Structure 1
Amino acid sequence: MFLALREMRHSKARYLLIMVIMLLVSFLVLFVTGLARGLAYANISAVENMPANYFVVQGDADQTFRRSQLTDTELQNVRSVVGDNNASSLAMQMSTVTANDADVKADITFFAVDMNGLLAPKVAEGDKITNETNGKVLVDRDLEQSGIKLGSIIRDQATGMEFTVAGFVEDSSYSHTPVVISTIRIGKL
């Protein structure tokens, strides 16, 4: 121990550089970890913020939501196990929308949910929509940066359907795209 302390006193610059390198490596690890967590959250925040504990997908879907398509019989089997109030369907489709008043194209993910079920989102601004609401959707607040605002009309490029933005939700992205939430009734069209 005496020799180590003596060596450190004798070669102050060398040991100071080693300490600086260790601090920089620690900062790099902290920075990369924060970046990875942020990217992971942007990838799946819409699903992560849902109040569901479990998601049921088809066995041959490789645990991927987009590949899974449960039939009504399979959904009824799940409901018989967990109870009607504890199971809700979720449909999703990636698409591109344009806004009439913003003159912008945005890649989005449509989520169709039962607005009376446990997956119904909390509205941060604007009006809630119900299962009986026609032609209105809730959108992630990130689309506001693209010029989309309450009352904007967005058009799905794949189907040509037009929707009016009724409200905004917070932290709702999937696969690094903002989520547009509609009712299950629209999702089945």
Structure 2
Amino acid sequence: MKGGALELGAASKGLAPKNAVNRGIAILDFILRIVAIVGTLGSAIAMGTTNQTLPFFTQFIRFRAKYTDLPSFTFFVVASSVATVYLVLSLAVSIFNVVKSDAQGSRVLLIIFDTIMLGLLTAGASAAASIVYLAHKGNTKTNWFAICQQFNSFCERISGSLIGSFAGVLVLVVLVLLSAVALSRR
């Protein structure tokens, strides 16, 4: 009897730190999701509201640069917006993981959808990054001229938008790794 009680007490002590670590991982997961929401939402808003108009010779003829002029930027805004909506919806599952730190099904679900959003966000940010590079450097072989010398404000905003999006990509990578660590601790 005494030996059985001792074994039960040792087993319960082993579970307490494991659940505490899993709860800590779940809280970190929730915080990182909020950080990713800020990054992806900020980048979608910055890109979606980017435009600049420059006068040419007279006030009646103007050159305009807007994010909708380039399909890569439109895809970027859609991808960032979809990722933001997903991250907001996933907060509920993340809260569930904080409350019930030993849940496995919800972690698997988060890994699957986080990986899908990681791919979507990476694709959108990469497509936009290639156009931003051409806007800054140009390509003389294909007669693509660098437009950032004329459209300074436009280029600053689209470049800044990429920073928030790639930060969201990095946070999603960490979220996938955190969920995998939490599942492996079971």
Structure with the bigger RCO (C-alpha within 8 Å, sep 6+) is 2
Larger strand percent: 1
TM-score, L = length of structure 1: 0.30
TM-score, L = length of structure 2: 0.30
